[in-house]
């Protein structure tokens, strides 16, 4: 299997660095972006299998980023994980509109995120192999 | 941490250095590569392998140690000084990256631990039993420690196990299916614990050999206060990936949380026991003031719990029943002894006074919020099934069930005890009275269960210690 790639979008630089590191150790290629606009630039420049995204960020937040990706592209990664805190539970309503989004509650566990993405991407690869997945 | 110390400094180049080297290669107009100490290429920019190019090298050092070498391909005379100064810059930079990586790894572990502790806080409920809490703690941890078998083994031999995404290979199945396998682990654990002493390590490792191959494990002691009450262990087939530092820390978190929960459970139990025995003592003292009622409340409590158990009451109902039975006559403190102990026939007024004791008892206990659910049982323990009792003349199912139980136990003890106004009657006489009263004075179902307990001699047996105290 080709190396899987993940884009980590978080304005907290230590969280971003931790996640890049654990995903690299798990065999992913991982890059970080620190707000929605930077994430857009990266998504325009390369194709990512997965994206992990914070909600509250300067310039362009997670919600705006998702809207932008759906309405103007470049594309919506096939596996997206949004990290919310308990106080942002209201966010669940708008998130329901996005089919391939998984919510995780903060504080995040890097180990859990690696397991989650690995499993999601594996099951998607299996689905694609058996011809069930339709590329949009 | 130990893992990153063992790692050669340049095994793979940190991602942050890739872009830098790409830029430098473009600026120098020469492909660049980095080799580790063993000469393996760990990073290379594009276009290295052309035959007409010469390799120019310079060692990459940090302080005194050589980490590897920087290689450039092209015109030696032009490149050598550039490569040498570039290598000198790279050494400290790479060493710094490694320190940062080690810190990042430690931070990642800390995030995992915080997440786990946060989840513990979310799933635990203060009113649930210890085994229920232990099961939740184990399964939360198992979710993080994928493909490991987690086992919580208590000194009383009870075992809780959990495993997420775990393929139960024959060796692991052998482990959970065989008591002797875990006994082996337990013996080993106890030995290591003894050798380590009271301030010893937080975890111990070992290996056991199953018929299907060796199994590695790490165990951590679980303590209630300072007493070791068991251990929690992570098990893996040796063919599976070894335990990492992060996993061991999570196991320690689990052991710590189990210890805290067990300690809380013990403290709560002691507190409840202390309260209950204090009240028991006080009630006994009140009873003892009157030679005719000495031990009465204690006996009613004992018989009521027997009936309640035979009726299959829940743990909560048995607790309420215990308190109510023990305190059912507490209202008599407010009644003059001359009336209580009067050998002659009571006047109507005196009789009414005696009849006020269930209501007075409730008045006495009302200020205690924790006993509020006990009050209806106390108030109605003198009601009759046919509605001719007091204080409210309730009938049948309208009388609280626990009060109907105490009514039978109370009558039985009253009949078989000596009173101021008469001698004690035989148990046979009491049996007849209760049989006759079933359906009129007593709830027929409660009477039936009571008579059965009497017939089989179970009333005389000492109480079951666990039921006889209202503690979880």
For B413-446, the pLDDT digits (tens) are 999 988 777 788 888 999 999 999 999 999 999 9
Per-residue pLDDT at B66: 86
Q: Which residues pair with B68 in a beta bridge?
A: B36, B60
Which residue numbers in chain B have pLDDT < 70?
1-16, 47-53, 165, 198, 461-472
Answer with the residue of higher pLDDT: B97 or A30.
Answer: A30
Per-residue pLDDT at B413: 93
Domain extent listing, chain B: 15-112, 126-266, 290-468
Q: In this complex, is the C-beta atom of B196 within 8 Å of any C-beta atom belonging to chain A?
A: no
pLDDT above 70: residue A134: no
Q: How many CB atoms lie within 10 A of CB A90?
A: 8
Q: Which residues pair with B235 in a beta bridge?
A: B149, B217
Per-residue pLDDT at B12: 62
Q: Which CATH class is domain B15-112?
A: alpha beta
For chain B, the helix, strand and coil percentages under 3-state DSSP, each to the nearest 5: 55, 15, 30
Write down the residue that tokens 């991982």 correspond to. Answer: A30
Domain at B290-468: CATH code: 1.10.3210.10
3-state secondary structure of B52: coil
The two tokens of residue B37 are: 């100490």
Interface contact flag, B112 A111, Cβ < 8 Å: yes
Interface test with B, best of A29, A32, A110, A119 (most B CBs within 10 A): A110
In CATH terms, the superfamily for domain B126-266 is GAF domain (3.30.450.40)
Q: Which of B15, B111, B146 is the closest to A115 by Cβ?
A: B146
The two tokens of residue B197 are: 């002493």
Beta strands in B51-100 (DSSP E): 54-62, 65-74
Per-residue pLDDT at B14: 66
Per-residue pLDDT at B4: 37
Rounded to whole angstroms, the Cα distance separating B223 from B257 reads: 10
- 8 Å CB contact between B54 and B31: no
B-chain residues near A111 (CB < 8 A):
108, 112, 144, 246
Question: Per-residue b/e over B18-38, b at no fewer than 16 CB within 10 Å?
Answer: eeebeebbeebebbbbbbbee
Same fold, B15-112 and B126-266: yes
pLDDT above 50: residue A20: yes
Shortest CA gap A129–chain B (Å)? 22
Q: How far is CA A34 from CA A13, A113, B182, B207, in A?
A: 7, 18, 49, 46
Interface contact flag, A24 B15, Cβ < 8 Å: yes
Per-residue pLDDT at B49: 55
With a threshold of 0.80, does the pTM exceed it? no
Per-residue pLDDT at B471: 40
A-chain residues near B144 (CB < 8 A):
109, 111-112
* ipTM (interface pTM): 0.91
Rounded to whole angstroms, the Cα distance separating B276 from B272 reads: 6
Per-residue pLDDT at B6: 36
Per-residue pLDDT at B52: 58
| First and final C-alpha spacing in chain B | 43
Write down the residue that tokens 């299916």 correspond to. Answer: B177
């Amino acid at each position: 299997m080709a190396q899987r790639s993940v884009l980590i979008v978080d304005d907290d630089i230590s969280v971003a660095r931790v996640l890049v590191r654990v995903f690299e150790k798990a065999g992913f290629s991982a890059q970080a972006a620190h707000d929605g606009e930077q994430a857009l630039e990266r998504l325009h420049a390369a194709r990512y299998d997965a994206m992990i995204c914070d909600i509250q960020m300067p310039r362009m937040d997670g919600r705006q980023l998702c809207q932008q990706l759906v309405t103007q592209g470049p594309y919506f990664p096939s596996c997206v994980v949004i990290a919310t805190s308990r106080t942002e539970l209201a966010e669940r309503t708008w998130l329901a509109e996005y089919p391939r989004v998984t919510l995780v509650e903060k504080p995040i566990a890097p180990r859990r995120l690696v397991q989650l993405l690995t499993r999601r991407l594996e099951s998607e690869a299996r689905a694609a192999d058996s011809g069930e997945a339709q590329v949009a | 941490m130990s893992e990153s110390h063992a790692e050669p400094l340049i095994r793979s180049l940190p991602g942050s250095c890739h872009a830098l080297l790409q830029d430098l290669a473009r600026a120098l107009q020469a492909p660049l590569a980095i080799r580790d100490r063993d000469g393996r290429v760990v990073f290379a920019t594009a276009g290295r392998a052309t035959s007409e190019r010469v390799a120019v090298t310079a060692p990459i050092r940090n302080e005194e140690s050589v980490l590897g070498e920087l290689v450039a391909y092209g015109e030696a005379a032009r490149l050598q000084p550039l490569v040498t100064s570039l290598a000198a810059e790279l050494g400290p930079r790479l060493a710094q990256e490694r320190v940062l990586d080690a810190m990042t790894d430690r931070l990642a572990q800390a995030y995992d631990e915080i997440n786990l502790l946060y989840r513990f806080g979310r799933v635990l409920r203060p009113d649930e039993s210890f085994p229920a809490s232990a099961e939740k703690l184990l399964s939360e941890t198992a979710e993080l420690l994928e493909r490991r078998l987690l086992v919580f083994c208590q000194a009383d031999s009870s075992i809780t196990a959990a495993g997420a995404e775990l393929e139960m290979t024959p060796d692991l199945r052998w482990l959970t299916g065989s008591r002797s396998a875990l006994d082996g682990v337990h013996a080993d654990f106890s030995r290591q614990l003894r050798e380590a002493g009271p301030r010893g390590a937080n975890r111990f490792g070992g290996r056991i050999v199953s018929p299907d191959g060796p199994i590695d494990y790490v165990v951590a002691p679980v303590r209630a206060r300072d007493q070791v009450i068991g251990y929690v262990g992570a098990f893996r087939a040796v063919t599976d990936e070894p335990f990492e530092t992060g996993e061991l820390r999570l196991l320690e978190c689990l052991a710590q949380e189990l210890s805290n929960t067990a300690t809380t459970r013990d403290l709560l139990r002691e507190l409840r026991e202390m309260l209950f025995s204090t009240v028991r003592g006080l009630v006994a003292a009140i009873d003892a003031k009157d030679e005719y009622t000495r031990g009465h409340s204690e006996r009613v409590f004992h018989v009521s719990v027997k009936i309640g158990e035979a009726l299959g009451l829940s743990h909560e109902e048995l607790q309420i029943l215990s308190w109510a039975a023990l305190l059912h006559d507490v209202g008599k403190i407010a009644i003059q002894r001359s009336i209580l102990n009067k050998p002659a026939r009571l006047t109507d007024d005196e009789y009414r006074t005696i009849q006020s004791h269930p209501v007075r008892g409730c008045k006495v206990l009302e200020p205690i919020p924790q006993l509020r659910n006990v009050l209806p049982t106390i108030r109605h323990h003198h009601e009759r099934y046919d509605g001719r009792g007091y204080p409210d003349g309730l009938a049948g199912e309208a009388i609280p069930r626990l009060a109907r139980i105490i009514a039978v136990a109370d009558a039985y003890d009253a009949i078989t005890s000596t009173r101021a106004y008469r001698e004690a009657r035989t148990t046979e006489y009491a049996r007849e009275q209760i049989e006759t009263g079933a359906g009129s004075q007593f709830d027929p179902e409660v009477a039936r269960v009571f008579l059965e307990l009497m017939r089989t001699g179970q009333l005389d047996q000492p109480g079951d210690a666990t039921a006889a105290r209202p503690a979880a």
